[in-house]
Amino acid sequence: MRSLEGLSAFGSLEELILDNNLLGNDLVLPGLPRLHTLTLNKNQITDLESLLDHLAEVTPALEYLSLLGNVACPNELITLEKDEEDYKRYRCFVLHKLPNLKFLDARKVTRKEREEALVRGSFMKVVKPKVLCTQICESFQNTAMEEEWSIGLFYR
């Protein structure tokens, strides 16, 4: 499933399981004021902050969230470059953005995690480089074309 069209007709929905789909960063949920449980396991979500900002806006009653199996959820079993510290930072950032959560992924939110999220959560954001390889390549090609154009003018 890639589209959530029609979901807006279920405004009183309380639980939504969207595991094992092709949902990505373009995920848009309608306002679901009663939704308390959302699982998005094993999808293609990479932009954690955008997702959390969106969920904070459209799911104010959210208490149970699971994002396991997405790039946005660092997990050493799925990605060898990630470790338990990455996962702790992730939990702290998620709880900073969604302070009403009681469960995140497969674990209950602890009082200690909640306190740390209040103090340090905003600093746990994973920052990605804004310039992508394709943008670098396009920039290089544009520069090369401009140089060819100016050389052509010079020789004419």
pLDDT at 108 over 60: yes
Domains of the chain, CATH where assigned: 7-128 (3.80.10)
What pLDDT, in 10s, does the model give residues 65-102? 999 999 999 876 566 666 778 888 899 999 999 999 99
For all residues of the chain together, what is the average pLDDT? 82
**More confident call, 17 vs 124:** 17
Comparing C-alpha atoms, which of 135, 121, 57, 66 is closest to residue 90?
A: 121
pLDDT at 44 over 80: yes
pLDDT at 28 over 90: yes
* Burial bucket for residue 130 (CB in 10 Å: 0-12, 13-18, 19+): exposed
pLDDT at 104 over 90: yes
pLDDT value, residue 130: 47
Provide φ and ψ at 37, rounded to 5°. Answer: -130, 125
Whether residue 98 contacts residue 66, with contact meaning beta carbons closer than 8 Å, is answered with: no
What pLDDT, in 10s, does the model give residues 59-68? 999 999 999 9
Spell out the residues 6+ positions from residue 99 whose beta carbon is closer than 8 angstroms to its own: 114, 117, 118
Q: Position 41: which residue type? A: N
pTM: 0.74
